[in-house]
Amino acid sequence: MATLELQHLTKKFGDFTAVDDMNLSVAEGEMIALLGGSGCGKTTTLRMIAGFTEPFSGTILVDGKDVRSIPPYRRNVGIFFQNYALFPHMTVFENVAFGLKLQKLPKAEIRERVENMLSLVKLVGLDRRYPRELSGGQQQRVALARAMVTRPTILLLDEPLSNLYAKLRVEMQVEIKRIQKELGITTIIVTHDHEEAVSLADRVIVMNAGRVQQIGTPQEIFDRPVSPFVADFMGFSTFLHGVAGPEENGLLPVKCGSHTLHVRTDGGADIAPGDACVLTIRSENIALAKEPGDNVVSGQVRTSTYKGHTTRLEVTGCFDETVYPALSEYTEHKEGETVQLYFPPERICVYKDEKKMEDQ
């Protein structure tokens, strides 16, 4: 168990800043998910924590102690790298046992721990195989076992589940979380999947171009992203542009195209009448309405896609932009059919349209 603190952590490659002034406090046993687009600095952050990359500036504290002078192998950090190279000349058993042998544990204990771990990652019976005799997903699980078997105080996982098919992926998510909580390992997991991030982590960090955009609980980030960028990353797909009117009774009217949507802000939005705004709403929060009313706008179905647990529509003609409702009940909608959509005021997020303001 350990606390981890990053203070003003910065990494430059030449003139390029890969990680820019990152600040983060991770509590003992906490699991943090790091989310962001390709090249935004996730792996670089983990490499600095592990000691494989020297920061340009800033401090990394483990249990309050600066780790700068401690070499990687003495940091007690378990690492799962994105390109999880296994040792090709070692069997599965030997790969997983490697770190325990370095720790000079008794043979019997090594065997017991490796076997336990192989059973957790569902690889029982494959211990004598070589990496080349395993599928991509199996190799990934060996690497995961190798990272966790030493019971590190800090665990860094860089996209550990990216190669697994959906069902196994969910099972492994549950296992990782269970082991992590059971052993109380302070963990940072990198993922590009926002659903994985919110289902695994105590807190989620969204990064963009080396900078932290938002840190919060899964619910905060899922329900109240701080910017359109974060919303986009968290799977919001409907984005509308409009102009704000004067707020009344906690509701902010925003004129989008020829319709006005009311957004519940309760005075919390820093938006003045006349400001250009961006609105966003999660697909599953847009509902079908039976009759006209406030925040009900009609449009035409362009496509309807059955997704199993939802039916996803593409609806045009409501605003200038396309709207993407996800309906939980199975309903058939034909192309060109007119539907009335309800946008609940408390479910709409509103932001100043910074781009538009800059252009003016």
Query: How many residues are recorded in the chain?
Result: 360
Among 9, 20, 41, 343, the residue binding ligand ATP under the rule CB under 6 A is 41
User: C-beta of 56: minimal distance to ligand ATP in Å?
Assistant: 12
Q: Which of the choices ligand ATP, Mg ion, none does residue 41 contact, using the CB cut-off of 5 to 8 A by kind?
A: ligand ATP
140 binds Mg ion (CB under 5 A): no
In Å, how far are 113, 144, 190 from 161, measured between CA atoms?
A: 22, 9, 10
- What is the x/- site pattern for ligand ATP, positions 56-85, by CB under 6 A? --------------------------x---
Are 238 and 286 contacting, i.e. CB atoms less than 8 angstroms apart?
yes
User: C-beta of 54: minimal distance to ligand ATP in Å?
Assistant: 11
Applying CB under 6 A, the site for ligand ATP has a residue count of: 11
3-state secondary structure of 270: coil
Are 175 and 199 contacting, i.e. CB atoms less than 8 angstroms apart?
no
- Nearest-angstrom CA–CA distance, 271 and 264: 13
Q: Which of the choices Mg ion, ligand ATP, none does residue 38 contact, using the CB cut-off of 5 to 8 A by kind?
A: ligand ATP
43 binds ligand ATP (CB under 6 A): yes
Structure tokens at 356: 């538009």
Which residues in 49-108 contact Mg ion (CB under 5 A)? Answer: 82
The CB-nearest residue to Mg ion is 43
3-state secondary structure of 212: strand
β-bridge pairing 276-281 and 349-352: antiparallel
Between 164 and 254, whose beta carbon lies closer to ligand ATP? 164
Are 29 and 1 contacting, i.e. CB atoms less than 8 angstroms apart?
yes
Applying CB under 5 A, the site for Mg ion has a residue count of: 3
213 binds ligand ATP (CB under 6 A): no
- Nearest-angstrom CA–CA distance, 106 and 129: 23
87 binds ligand ATP (CB under 6 A): no
Between 43 and 238, whose beta carbon lies closer to ligand ATP? 43
User: C-beta of 159: minimal distance to Mg ion in Å?
Assistant: 7
Choose the binding region for ligand ATP from 42-50, 117-125, 250-258, 263-271 (rule: CB under 6 A): 42-50
Among 9, 33, 40, 161, the residue binding ligand ATP under the rule CB under 6 A is 40
- Nearest-angstrom CA–CA distance, 327 and 309: 9
Contacts 24+ apart (CB under 8 A), 216-222: 222/194, 222/198
139 binds Mg ion (CB under 5 A): no
43 binds Mg ion (CB under 5 A): yes
191 binds Mg ion (CB under 5 A): no
Choose the binding region for ligand ATP from 24-32, 39-47, 166-174, 272-280 (rule: CB under 6 A): 39-47
Structure tokens at 188: 């940072």
273 binds ligand ATP (CB under 6 A): no
Residues 82-119 as b or e (16 or more Cβ within 10 Å = b) = eebebeeeebbbbbbbbbbeeeebeeeebeebbeebbe
Choose the binding region for ligand ATP from 35-43, 68-76, 232-240, 268-276 (rule: CB under 6 A): 35-43
Nearest Cα to 281, choosing from 307, 255, 262? 262
- Which residues contact Mg ion by CB under 5 A? 42-43, 82
- Which residues contact ligand ATP by CB under 6 A? 13, 18, 36, 38-44, 82
